[in-house]
Amino acid sequence: MDDEQYGKAIRSVTQLWVWTVPALFLVLVLLGLTMRFNQAGIIDAGADFFYAVMTLHGLGMAGTAFVAGLAGVTYLLARYVRVNLAIAWAMYALTVLGIVGLVIACLIGKFGPGWYLLYPLPFITNGVWPDWALLLAVLSLIVLGVAWLLGQIDLFRALVARYGLTNALAWQYFGKQSAGRVEIPPIVLISTAACLVPGILTTIDGAVLLILYLFKWFSPSLTFDPLLLKNMVFLWGHTLVNITMYLGLAMVYELLPKYTGRPWKTNAVVALSWNAVLFLVLLAFFHHLYMDFAQPVSLQYIGQVASYLSAVPATVVTVFGVIGQVYRSGMQWRFVPLCFCLGIVGWVIGGFAAVVDSTITVNSAFHNTLWVPAHFHTYFIAGYILMLWGFLYEFSGSAREGLAKTGLWLLVAGAYGFLFMFYLGGALGVPRRFAAYGSIPITSLATISERMAFIASAFIVLLIIGLLIVFGVIYGGLANRAFAGSAPVPSQ
């Protein structure tokens, strides 16, 4: 297969992702709106339905965001390396299969233990979800895990085959500069060090956890250590969400220079930073267990230190890198760089709120309050997702700049309004994952929680209007482009 054929083939599979992801995302946002409506008392969906929706929303959003990023980066890396197309198609097909399974388990089977399936809750159903729903959910997650593991391993293989492991990790930049040094673009380094190595390791951790769950489904008398399994689920889930952010940044590193006209190259500082991320991203998850006082205290300290230090490479290299790209570049604020830069702003604000919450003593006040969804929704909906829309728009070839920007500003306004209610709720100690606030015995807290959910709902509606406009523009671009014929990916 020559470069042009490969370019067309990888474009075809990516195109399918670009059609699928916005639609999926929109449905998942509507599930989020349903939850806020219920919390505001606008609808009464029932606690069993609420928690099933909450589970699907969490699993769906984390999974969609991750796999969209993986597919996008795989496409952008086609300039440098070739992945196995059969695996790329299998990743799409298996992901769809897994999603269908989860939708059935959650919406029909009322499977609702939360995205993190915290042991042993999935097995103590109290009649809410039947055994088949649990089995279907676990099997669906295994299918998704296999799909994403295959995709990650194959991309890793392609990068290592072209550059060698140490070069792909940019270790050649640590020695003296030599004439024969292999230069690598930042997207290769970020994909390898910050995404694929930790991603593969922790997906295996997730797979082990799910297989243990499968064993317990077949043999209910089996028991496991709940603290160990809690560590395992957060190692998997936390890392997956973190590397999703880095997939977004990899896209920004690759595409922003096109708009600023300035090169963005790997150097020793960039190499050191992203190698530091490789270790920090694997250690920060301990901050999810701060309130488990039985956890060894040394691990709690490691969680805070790793969380704090992870801010250093993130801001020193990426934020200053973006500023270096944009500052006095004379760049035109087209839709794609606007998405990227707004996304970086959301990522930094959400990241700061996360670092604040990763302080053990602060976590005593914020753990499992609305502060937690506040910060991770910030770096998703106002951060990574904007970067992703930038990529999707670029891919679609749309030229409806004005309309797209209108949609983007509505989306951003809706997002920050909705997020502000989360932050305010967190500061006031409003619990997260509550189907309804009316049962809170402290009347003042119950009332303010409901009112904030009401205001947040209005902002989500605004956000959805913005999303619809942006998606309309992306889909319009895709439809026109498909008619004009697919352009091949340039090869080097």
Partner 1 sequence: MTAYYAAITTLLVSLAIVAIALFVSRSRLPSEASSAATSTVYRIRSVYFVIILVVAVISLAFTLPLTPYPNKYSEKKPDVTVKAIGEMWSWTLTPGADATSAGDNLILPVGKMVEFEVSSKDVNHNFAIYNSAGELIAQVQAMPDYTNRLFYTFNVPGHYYVLCLEYCGLAHHAMNTEFDVK
Enclosing H/E stretch for 399: none
Q: What is the smallest separation between the CB atom of 491 and partner 1, expressed in angstroms?
A: 29
At residue 127, what is the residue type?
G
Q: Is 316 in the site for partner 1 (CB under 8 A)?
A: yes
> CA-based angle 393:54:351, to the nearest 5?
55
Q: Is 360 in the site for partner 1 (CB under 8 A)?
A: yes
DSSP string, 339-368: HHHHHHHHHHHHHHHHHHHTSHHHHHHHTT
The residue range among 99-107, 197-205, 337-345, 484-492 that interacts with partner 1, by the rule CB under 8 A, is 337-345
- Identify the DSSP state of 121: G
Q: How far apart are CA 70 and CA 88, in angstroms?
A: 10
Q: What is the smallest separation between the CB atom of 427 and partner 1, expressed in angstroms?
A: 4
One residue of 5, 320, 480, 491 binding partner 1 per CB under 8 A: 320
Q: Is 266 in the site for partner 1 (CB under 8 A)?
A: no
Q: Is 369 in the site for partner 1 (CB under 8 A)?
A: yes
One residue of 178, 294, 483, 492 binding partner 1 per CB under 8 A: 294
At residue 128, what is the residue type?
V
Q: Is 451 in the site for partner 1 (CB under 8 A)?
A: no
Q: Is 278 in the site for partner 1 (CB under 8 A)?
A: no
Nearer to partner 1, 210 or 341 (CB): 341
One residue of 204, 312, 461, 487 binding partner 1 per CB under 8 A: 312
Q: What is the smallest separation between the CB atom of 489 and partner 1, expressed in angstroms?
A: 28
Task: Tell me the torsion sign for CA atoms 290, 295, 300, 301.
Answer: positive
- Identify the DSSP state of 487: P
Q: What is the smallest separation between the CB atom of 30 and partner 1, expressed in angstroms?
A: 21
Q: Is 262 in the site for partner 1 (CB under 8 A)?
A: yes
The residue range among 182-190, 329-337, 385-393, 403-411 that interacts with partner 1, by the rule CB under 8 A, is 329-337
Q: How far apart are CA 421 and CA 402, in angstroms?
A: 29
For residues 312, 316, 322, 326, the Cα torsion angle rounded to the nearest 10 degrees is: 140
Q: Is 302 in the site for partner 1 (CB under 8 A)?
A: no
Query: Taking CB under 8 A as the criterion, which residues in 128-157 touch partner 1?
Result: 128
Q: Is 298 in the site for partner 1 (CB under 8 A)?
A: no
Q: How far apart are CA 195 and CA 159, in angstroms?
A: 12
What backbone phi and psi angles, to 5 degrees, belong to 126? 50, 30
* CB-CB contact of 443 with 409 (8 Å): no
The residue range among 143-151, 209-217, 307-315, 389-397 that interacts with partner 1, by the rule CB under 8 A, is 307-315
Q: Is 120 in the site for partner 1 (CB under 8 A)?
A: yes
Side-chain half-sphere CA neighbours of 460 within 13 A: 22
DSSP string, 411-446: HHHHHHHHHHHHHHHHHTTPBSS-S-STT-S-HHHH
Task: Name, in order, each residue with C-beta under 8 angstroms of 107's C-beta and a sequence gap of 6 or more.
Answer: 52, 53, 56
Q: Is 214 in the site for partner 1 (CB under 8 A)?
A: no
Q: What is the smallest separation between the CB atom of 108 and partner 1, expressed in angstroms?
A: 17
Alpha helices per DSSP H over 41-130: 47-76, 85-103
The residue range among 66-74, 145-153, 398-406, 431-439 that interacts with partner 1, by the rule CB under 8 A, is 431-439
Q: How far apart are CA 363 and CA 268, in angstroms?
A: 35
The residue range among 169-177, 231-239, 327-335, 400-408 that interacts with partner 1, by the rule CB under 8 A, is 327-335
The residue range among 81-89, 130-138, 170-178, 444-452 that interacts with partner 1, by the rule CB under 8 A, is 444-452
Q: Is 212 in the site for partner 1 (CB under 8 A)?
A: no
Enclosing H/E stretch for 249: helix 226-260
Nearer to partner 1, 179 or 297 (CB): 297
Q: Is 53 in the site for partner 1 (CB under 8 A)?
A: no
Q: Is 329 in the site for partner 1 (CB under 8 A)?
A: yes
Q: What is the smallest separation between the CB atom of 363 and partner 1, expressed in angstroms?
A: 9
